[in-house]
Amino acid sequence: MDPLLIKLIGFAAATCTTVAYAPQAIKVWKTRSTGDISLGMFLVMVLGLALWLIYGLLSGDAPLIASNAVTMLLAGGILVMKLRYG
């Protein structure tokens, strides 16, 4: 398979999984309500994203680096708001 096509598929997948966090982050930001969000899930998720980001940096994989950096910011923001607003 063409390496460019493989990278494009990676970026498309990364875009979908990253954008998926945006509505939740926006909702939490607007409402300041995090009661239905699992603290444990977001703690583990942000740790996993950080590890994926490190892996992407070490392997030089651009889709992994881009998606996990942005997703970590979104999920990390939700986590911070969960800790702040309970």
Q: What CATH number is attached to the domain comprising 78? A: 1.20.1280.290
pTM attached to this predicted model: 0.81
Report how far residue 69's alpha carbon sits from residue 86's, in angstroms, rounded to the nearest whole number.
25
Torsion, CA 23, CA 24, CA 25, CA 28, rounded to 10: 120
Per-residue pLDDT, 47: 95
Question: Residue type at 53?
Answer: L
Query: Are the C-beta atoms of residues 53 and 71 closer than 8 Å to each other?
Result: no
Helix axes 22-31, 62-85, angle to 10 degrees: 20
Residue 65 belongs to what domain range? 3-85
Question: Residue type at 72?
Answer: M
**Is residue 11 over pLDDT 90?**
no
**Is residue 1 over pLDDT 90?**
no
